[in-house]
Structure 1
């Protein structure tokens, strides 16, 4: 190691597991029968000066390494002994937005991929954060009083939760369409009011509303368009590339010759029938 170079050594938990600097490791177990422990890394939520956050720094506990089977309710149960909890929010990665991201719809919202997450536990009192950081484990997630569903029971519960109430969905869609129609009507009214009125620099906004609507296409025009598309498609195809295409081309040619021969016979017969002797 070079002289004068310092390295940061990771803190160690009582059980010998490595811990990131500035965090406190809390061992948890899924059930009492489980021998191995999983570690949550917690610290008081703080942000740099000048950075705004929607989470109150004095009352928020930041939690890392939250396993997929640990839900918001499980975290609230684990830290309930430290004091009353205001809210628990799970995220895929740390979120420093000014306002919490909440979906306006219960049906049309993106679902995160199951995996390890981070959590923001907001307590009612600031002293609860210090108690949570000083917790000694292991903490049990699934207890007799608060069991966590697994296996078939969890699959059945997830399937039941995925079923959508048609009436609630209809109400939400109707509400969304009403708001959308109001928004479009307001935009149209604003555009109509601004049409033909010059702005501060003297420019006039031109819209497409003044254009003459196109006439409906007639049947003959539609047939011409279809015929043009058919010819364009035929040019792209390979003619007589396969043996069956070559045979079909010969058969069509013979059929056209027979048809023309029959038409010529009928025309000659008609000319002979109409021919008369006219001496005068």
Structure 2
């Protein structure tokens, strides 16, 4: 194989007219002080200029000719993920030990749980089951396109497999890029990828309608739940007005007083009582126009007033007619 600096040149062909070049060498581990490198230096192959649409399955098939490939890492993402997984495993083990001790201590105390808390938990679980969910839009299985010149790591099962990948005879080059049948589960590549992406970005109207309708149902459900939480009416609670009196309401889900008892006067009412009581407007006992004779008398008075006004207007007109303009 041809070498450039420390890298071996690995040509691969998609067809008789398309050739792609990758550059490979053994991975040199350079972890930070106190950090652990999840990629073993004696079994990892460092690859530069990966094809933009390369998948883990294709790379495992390509380098599987030289030995068993354990996993493939793209652009260092899997290295960070492996470190995080190791940290999570250790933290889970510690939490598991703590939880085991706590569970052993809380088994006896679980029976003494508050009844109200149990009811609240069951209510939340029941609402979670009844709550509507958003119907997602259809998602097509498309491969991830990486930038040109991206790097990756191929982890083999043994160091011999790594040495075999670095000592490929010139007669075996260039390597053929693996191609899978259209009936397999592999994501589309090339022009088929962009056609599938175009179709995925334009789902059918029925799917869009279901997604929009379900989204509106979820929104309305959340609005209804928020209005219930902010409402002053609570089931099983008495409703007390500003004067401290319990309001008598009809039965039902809201405003139903189960416990009874006397309502507690508000602070505003108590303060007003200290200041000499509330000043209320005097209400008139008689209601105008309540009885039939009052309506008749009112109409008669209106007719008399209109007649007097008409006569007064007639007198004014007659007085104006008797006056004439005399310039001399």
TM-score interval w.r.t. the shorter chain?
Answer: 0.3 to 0.5
TM-score (norm 1): 0.41
In our comparison, the structure showing a higher alpha carbon Rg is: 2
TM-score (norm 2): 0.36
Structure with greater contact order relative to length (CA < 8 Å, sep ≥ 6) = 2
